[in-house]
Amino acid sequence: MRLEVFRITESEIAPRTATGKAVSHLSNLGVPVFAIFTALVVASLAIFLSGSNPIEAYLALAAGAFGDLDSLITTMIKTIPLLIAGLGVALAFRGGLFNIGVEGQLFVGSIAAVIVGTGFHAPIYIHIPVTLLAGIFSGALWAAIAGFLKAKYGANEVITTIMTNYIAIRIITWSIGAYGPLRKAASVVPETNSIFESARLPELIPGARLHAGILIALLAALLIFLLLFRTTLGIEIRTVGMNLHAARYAGINVNRTIVLTMALSGGLAGLAGAVQVMGLSPYNFTTGFNVGYGFDSIAVAVLGSIHPLGILLSSLLFGAMDAGARLMQLRARVPIEIITILQGLILMFVAANQIIRSLYHIRAPKGQGEVNLTQSWGGSTD
């Protein structure tokens, strides 16, 4: 009988938790795979309507992403920022926070990397880590504002991070604009100077474009996994994400955890921005730089079941689509924007997994439920 009681409480609590969803997703890879398949089928309708052959388009997409060594390298380069930023979004989700400000935090991180990377000369083994840290800390600080406002005043982080996005983008646009302090002298387009060579990430294989950022991204995935599932802080973050009241009752400093979660999440976003500046020629910041990674990384995190391992796979998928899009446009004359449609559809089908389950008769695992990421939208942490 005691066992019975335990089982009931378990199944009552599990559906509310983010972990419950992630674990059941991992043990049930079917939903994401079928979601991707369904998205491809639906998007092929758009391709067909525009007068192209969907199969030809998808083959070109795959060839452009994995066809030869060069496209493989492009895929990996495109994966790097998505993986790091996706981890940032996921970490916030785990803590019950929706960090929609990844876009702005990524910009802040890359600008900080530019400032430090062009600010002084130093040996490479000092300059690279210092520049990376500048990206991390600036992104963390920028995100911590939203965390602080949430913890102290209960201001909803979705809105505050949207606002801080605009503030960051406005200030940065000004700083690289016509009279901005970071504007490269005598340049016709808004861009900054390139960072010094001592701050650039080395290429893994000389001449092959693939830079050390991939190692940084993989290391970040490992560290976030360890942080979430092997440390006390990780348990605290997840507990706050599952149930604020329970966390408070258990003696966790909820406010501190919220600020810390946002800071860590923003730190990852800032790292993603710094790595982009430090790894990709011409090693500077310009308008149109990495626009959209902030929102793509939300899709990456959700598709990856907000688990580092899943995000590794989902960021690779999104990176591959970004990399293969150009060849698809060239060969099958399908506009590149089909990728955005595909990503939106994938996010929709993964999130609304009931559609996929009923389409393909996949049974829902026990204790499966929806995470409600927006439980404190009304503006209160109580």
Partner 1 sequence: MDVILVGLFSLAIIKATPLVYGALCGILGERSGVINIGIEGMMLIGAFMAFMGSALFGKWTGAAFSPNLALIVGLAIGVLSAALVAALHAVLSIHYKIDQVISGTVINLLAAGITDYAANVYIDPSHLSGVGVFPEVPIPLLSQIPILGKIFFSQQPMVYFMFGLVIFLQYAIFNTPWGLRMRSVGEHPSAADTVGINVNRTRYINVILGGALAGLGGAFLVLESVGRFQKLMTAGRGFIALAVMIFGRWTPVGAFLAALLFGFAEALGVRLQFGDINHLYALVVIIAVIVLFVGAVGLIRSWVIRSRSSRSLVVNLSLIGLGALTLIAAKLIQFPDMAIPIEFLGLLPYILTILALTGLVRKAVGPAAIGRPYEKQ
Q: Which residues bind partner 1 (CB under 8 A)?
A: 46, 50-51, 98, 100, 149, 152-153, 155-156, 158-160, 162-164, 166-167, 170-171, 174, 177, 179, 295, 298-299, 302, 335, 337-345, 347-348, 351-352, 354-355, 370-375, 377-380
Cβ 109 to partner 1 shortest distance, Å? 20
Cβ 341 to partner 1 shortest distance, Å? 4
The answer to whether the Cα torsion of 105, 108, 114, 115 is positive or negative is negative
Asked whether 134 and 258 are in contact (CB, 8 A), the reply is no
163 vs 227, which CB is nearer to partner 1?
163
d(CA 242, CA 17): 5
Backbone phi, then psi, for 29, in 5-degree steps?
Answer: -65, -10
Q: Is 211 helix (H, G, I), strand (E, B) or coil?
A: strand
Cβ 4 to partner 1 shortest distance, Å? 23
Cβ 348 to partner 1 shortest distance, Å? 4
The answer to whether the Cα torsion of 71, 72, 78, 82 is positive or negative is positive
Cβ 72 to partner 1 shortest distance, Å? 25
Cβ 157 to partner 1 shortest distance, Å? 10
43 vs 87, which CB is nearer to partner 1?
43
181 vs 282, which CB is nearer to partner 1?
181
Cβ 172 to partner 1 shortest distance, Å? 11
d(CA 48, CA 136): 44
62 vs 351, which CB is nearer to partner 1?
351
**CA-to-CA separations, 40 to 53, 71, 297, 300, in angstroms, rounded:** 13, 21, 19, 16
Cβ 158 to partner 1 shortest distance, Å? 6
196 vs 349, which CB is nearer to partner 1?
349
Backbone phi, then psi, for 323, in 5-degree steps?
Answer: -70, -35
| Structure tokens, 212 | 């050390």
79 vs 175, which CB is nearer to partner 1?
175
Three-state SS for 171-208 is HHHHHCCCCCCCCCCCCCCCECCCCCHHHCCCECCCCC
Asked whether 194 and 280 are in contact (CB, 8 A), the reply is no
Q: How many CB atoms lie within 10 A of CB 184?
A: 18
138 vs 156, which CB is nearer to partner 1?
156
First-residue to last-residue Cα distance in the chain: 35
138 vs 376, which CB is nearer to partner 1?
376
193 vs 340, which CB is nearer to partner 1?
340
Backbone phi, then psi, for 191, in 5-degree steps?
Answer: -155, 160
Q: How many CB atoms lie within 10 A of CB 152?
A: 12
Cβ 358 to partner 1 shortest distance, Å? 10
| Structure tokens, 151 | 């913890």
